Amino acid sequence: MELYEAMSTLRAVRRLRSDPIPDDVLDRVLQAAAWAPSGGNVQPFRIVVVKSAEKLKTIQSWYQQEWDRYIEPLRSLASSSDDVAAVNSGKIVKAGDYLANHLAEVPALLVFCFNPAHMAITDADLNRPSVVGGGSVYTAVQNVMLACRQEGLGCVLTTLLCYQEQAIKQLLDIPEQWGTCAHIPIGYPVLKGHGPISRRPVTKLVFKDSWGQPLEHS
C-alpha cells in the first residue's frame, strides 16, 4: 500500500472480528514496532501480546468500567442534536460501546510498556505535564498501526486502561519499574475497517516563523 494512502485512511477501527491473525502477519506488525526510532536508540518499550481468552475477559471488564465512566457525560451530548459534531460523537459512542462489549473477543491485544529509567526525559522538570518520554514509545505504536493498515487489520490506540495500570501489571506480570501507555486491540474488521478520516486542515496546524503566521510558500 502506498504510504500516504495508508496514513490518510488509518482511522480508529473498533469493531474487530475474532478470527485469528496468522503468525507471520502478527510477526510483521511487531517487526514494524521494533523499527521505530527512540531517544538514544534505547528502545525503552516492550509489548505484551495478550491472546489468552481468560486474561482478555478480565481486561475487558476493566476496560468496560473505564469506558462507561469516560463516555457517560458525552452520551447525552451525542444524542442532543443532529448537527455534524453530535452525529460524529454518536458514531464514536456506538463504535466505542461495541469495543467495550467485545474486547475479550479480539485475537490480540498489544499492551505497550515503557521504562522511564531508560529514557532521557528532557521536559521532566518543566512546570507542565511531561510528554517527551512518550515519544520513544508512540513512534512504535504508530508503526504498529500503519503495519496493521498494510496487513488489512483493524486497530485502535486506546489509553483508558492506564487507569487500571496496577491491575494490568499484576495480571501480565509486568515488572515494577515498567509502566503501560497504550493498549491496542487488533483484528480483522467487522465492517469496512479503515477509510476516510476527518482532520483539521494543515493551515490550522502549521505556522511559519512565528506562532499563528500562515505557511505561505514564495
C-beta of 43 vs 142, nearer to ligand FMN: 142
Per CB under 6 A, residues contacting ligand FMN are 11-12, 14, 92, 96, 99, 156-160, 197-198
- The minimum distance between CB 217 and ligand FMN, in angstroms, equals 28
C-beta of 86 vs 157, nearer to ligand FMN: 157
- The minimum distance between CB 90 and ligand FMN, in angstroms, equals 13
C-beta of 41 vs 198, nearer to ligand FMN: 198
C-beta of 40 vs 195, nearer to ligand FMN: 195
Instruction: Please give the full DSSP string across 83-115, using - where no structure is assigned.
Output: SHHHHHHHHHHHHHHHHHHHGGGSSEEEEEEE-
Give me the residue label for grid cell 452525529.
Answer: 87
CA 146 to chain centre: 11
Query: Taking a C-beta distance cutoff of 8 angstroms, is the pair 159, 152 a contact?
Result: no
Q: Rounded to an integer, what distance in angstroms lies between the CA atom of residue 47 and that of residue 50?
A: 9
Q: Rounded to an integer, what distance in angstroms lies between the CA atom of residue 186 and that of residue 189?
A: 9
- The minimum distance between CB 203 and ligand FMN, in angstroms, equals 19
Q: Rounded to an integer, what distance in angstroms lies between the CA atom of residue 35 and that of residue 26?
A: 15
- The minimum distance between CB 218 and ligand FMN, in angstroms, equals 33
C-beta of 25 vs 160, nearer to ligand FMN: 160
Burial of 75 from C-beta contacts in 10 A (0-12 / 13-18 / 19+): middle
- The minimum distance between CB 181 and ligand FMN, in angstroms, equals 9
